Structure 1
Amino acid sequence: MATPFYGFAGARTTAFVLATMDAAGGAAAQEAIALMGGTVAAHVALPGLHDALDMVDSAPVIVLDLEGAPDDLADEAVSAVATFSAERAWRSVVAMSVAQIDLVVAALGEATDAVHLLCAPDQAEWISALAIAGAKGAGGVRASDEEREHLARLHAEVARVAELLARLGERGAAGGRAEDRHTTFAPAPTEALVTPGTVRDVLRARRLRDRFFGNGLFEDPAWDMLLDLFAARLEGGRVSVSSLCIAAAVAPTTALRWIGKLTALRLLVREPDASDRRRAFVALSDQATASMHRYVAALAEARLPLV
């Protein structure tokens, strides 16, 4: 086994159960587990996964790699993971392709936020996800200073966006507390004259920067997603999870993580597709929509552009 070099707490005591299409699958996951000092307690095939997991007595980390899985089998396997994650509080990591995003999120349903999602992951993403899952309840992860700084920046960005929208919401509620917004006599949010085209132009301008300065320099997935969903709301359209990941202009795994964060902050809501249970949509919450309108109104009042 490779010598672990990441120093993650709990890696050697975690039982990883790897589920793949066949015995030859999951090479990247196995390599990541070995590098972090863990072991694969069992390697099972996707067909019949529910029955295989039902025979496991301990509480392992379930690692589901959907590479090469047809939709029917992928849906069945993800549903099994969702069941055990909810019923037995097992830790789970699900890796998928971009084409499988909507299927996975729809199959997980309410269990989505309890599962660590990876999309076309590289080795670093595999190690990070497996280490976090393996370290839960085992003393935590001893991350490097660089990793801690990166996580701190992510949390700070989410907090900044949430604070901005909350502050704008409070301003529109005439000073009332957020939880009082349904019982006060504050006027309805001011809806400034903003068109979907205006919002789409802002998104195009933000992407245009990358053409001249390169990708990755201006990453702002939270705001890009809020803008995309705001435009869709104005258009009366719906946005799938996979489409929103593209709009975020970051790696799909990163986009999925941000969708989870913004959903936890009640800025986004997930909506199942009534006509296709294998597809899920994301939309702005009513709270976020009202705050976006107030934000646009405040910009108009201050004669500032939407950016």
Structure 2
Amino acid sequence: MLDPSYATMAKALVIAEGDGGDAVAALRHAGYATPAPVGFAAVARDLSNYDGLDMILIEGAGAPDDLFDLVLARADTMARERSLGIVAAITLQQIDVAAAHLLGPRTQLLCEPSQAERIAAIAAARWLARGVVNDVTREAESVRLQRLNEEIARIADTLARLTRGEDGERRRSVRAPDNDYRGPDDGAPIEISPQEVRATIRSRRMRGQFFQGDLFADPAWDMLLDLFASALERRQVSVSSLCIAAAVPPTTALRWIGTLHDAGLFERQADPSDRRRAYIGLSAKGLDGMRSYASAVKRAGLQMV
């Protein structure tokens, strides 16, 4: 447990049905006072009477379906206005609804979490909201994301230089033998088919048949590939489907979606037919990066990995 003096400063609003057992216990272990939970119906009626808060903790299990969407929207508005952190423990079935509202740097989405995951998220939430410190896991993932972006840029630049030659002349030795691809400066686009991207994804998944799956866990790249293929297919992707494509536990996938969204590579897309649902797609920046990488690889006669 944290320093007891911390508990006198840290206040949380717990939104949960029943006695909020796991949520209240996690708060206590994280050094917070343990307030009585407020039910979803009460929050749906009024959320204006809660002052002096540091965070909002939402337990989605058991929440009434007809109130879940409304409560999340109100909690998100309150958190934005007051710079509060949100920790939301949700079920697999609630991923799409939760992501439609709670996708941002102050929010931590936990899918069917363990108690240890709850405690860690609660302990970080207050400071994460204030911007005093970064969540250690998110910071590590941001570093990995930066390295991934740098590596993609480096590969694309190297392949582009190989294709045209250091002096601007095109090197015929790296041309694909059966295709008359031209260098990046001559204006010819390189066509990338969704089938090519899907083949790369299938190849990556096949490694799990021969090696332990988590040896190759790379959720950022797996999701970028899936969204790239979907963009080429003009198909929308739900958050829950993208979590599956990441091939990691849902909570980890949701954290990565938030990281890539904050980095400007993903964008949330509303479902015009259902306000309770949101899709995730590549931003213009993300799509341009993937097209540039795939084109550079293809010019060099290589395969995406």
Report the TM range for the smaller structure's normalisation.
Answer: 0.7 to 0.9
Alignment of 1:70-85 (within 5 A): 70-85=64-79
What is the alpha-carbon distance in structure 2 between the residues aligned to residue 247 and residue 269 of structure 1?
A: 17
Q: Tell me: CA distance 1:217–1:12, structure 2 relative to 1, closer, same or farther (3 Å).
A: farther
Q: Tell me: CA distance 1:188–1:118, structure 2 relative to 1, closer, same or farther (3 Å).
A: farther
User: What is the aligned residue count?
Assistant: 281
What is the alpha-carbon distance in structure 2 between the residues aligned to residue 291 and residue 138 of structure 1?
A: 29
Q: CA deviation at 1:94?
A: 1.4
Comparing 57-66 and 227-236, the one that deviates more: 57-66
Corresponding residue for residue 165 of structure 2: none
What is the alpha-carbon distance in structure 1 between the residues aligned to residue 157 and residue 57 of structure 2?
A: 43
Q: Which amino acid aligns with 1:128?
A: A
Corresponding residue for residue 159 of structure 1: 146
Q: CA deviation at 1:196?
A: 1.4
**Residue 21 (1) aligns with residue 8 (2):** no
Corresponding residue for residue 113 of structure 2: 121
What is the alpha-carbon distance in structure 2 between the residues aligned to residue 135 and residue 288 of structure 1?
A: 29
Corresponding residue for residue 180 of structure 1: none
Alignment partner of 1:192 out of 190, 193, 197: 190
TM (norm. structure 2) is 0.81
Q: CA deviation at 1:220?
A: 0.4
Deviation readout 1:81-127 (Å, 9 max, x if unpaired): 0121122222221111111111112244xx64432211111122211
What is the alpha-carbon distance in structure 2 between the residues aligned to residue 31 and residue 37 of structure 1?
A: 10
Alignment of 1:231-242 (within 5 A): 231-242=229-240
Secondary structure of the structure 1 residue equivalent to 2:216: coil
Deviation readout 1:212-233 (Å, 9 max, x if unpaired): 2223221101000000001101
Deviation readout 1:107-155 (Å, 9 max, x if unpaired): 44xx6443221111112221121011134459758x9xxxx5x655422
Secondary structure of the structure 1 residue equivalent to 2:62: coil
Alignment partner of 1:60 out of 54, 59, 76: 54
Where does structure 2 lack aligned partners over 5 or more consecutive residues? 161-183
Q: Tell me: CA distance 1:288–1:126, structure 2 relative to 1, closer, same or farther (3 Å).
A: same
Q: Tell me: CA distance 1:238–1:31, structure 2 relative to 1, closer, same or farther (3 Å).
A: same
**Residue 270 (1) aligns with residue 254 (2):** no
Superposition RMSD on alpha carbons, in Å? Answer: 3.0
Secondary structure of the structure 2 residue equivalent to 1:117: strand
Q: Tell me: CA distance 1:131–1:56, structure 2 relative to 1, closer, same or farther (3 Å).
A: same
Q: Tell me: CA distance 1:169–1:211, structure 2 relative to 1, closer, same or farther (3 Å).
A: closer
Q: Tell me: CA distance 1:208–1:51, structure 2 relative to 1, closer, same or farther (3 Å).
A: same
Corresponding residue for residue 297 of structure 1: 295
Corresponding residue for residue 176 of structure 1: none
Q: Tell me: CA distance 1:95–1:60, structure 2 relative to 1, closer, same or farther (3 Å).
A: same
What is the alpha-carbon distance in structure 2 between the residues aligned to residue 188 and residue 14 of structure 1?
A: 60
TM (norm. structure 1) is 0.81
What is the alpha-carbon distance in structure 1 between the residues aligned to residue 116 and residue 214 of structure 2?
A: 17
Tell me if structure 2 keeps the 8 A contact 1:189–1:290. Answer: no
Q: Tell me: CA distance 1:138–1:165, structure 2 relative to 1, closer, same or farther (3 Å).
A: closer
Q: Give the number of the structure whose alpha-carbon radius of gyration is greater.
A: 2
Alignment of 1:85-124 (within 5 A): 85-108=79-102, 112-124=104-116
Q: CA deviation at 1:204?
A: 1.7
Q: Tell me: CA distance 1:188–1:134, structure 2 relative to 1, closer, same or farther (3 Å).
A: farther
Secondary structure of the structure 2 residue equivalent to 1:289: helix
Tell me if structure 2 keeps the 8 A contact 1:10–1:134. Answer: no
Secondary structure of the structure 2 residue equivalent to 1:257: helix
Q: Which amino acid aligns with 1:162?
A: N
What is the alpha-carbon distance in structure 2 between the residues aligned to residue 135 and residue 112 of structure 1?
A: 15
Q: Tell me: CA distance 1:67–1:301, structure 2 relative to 1, closer, same or farther (3 Å).
A: same
Q: CA deviation at 1:188?
A: 9.7
Q: Tell me: CA distance 1:215–1:64, structure 2 relative to 1, closer, same or farther (3 Å).
A: same
Q: Which amino acid aligns with 2:73?
A: S
Tell me if structure 2 keeps the 8 A contact 1:20–1:65. Answer: yes
Q: CA deviation at 1:274?
A: 0.6
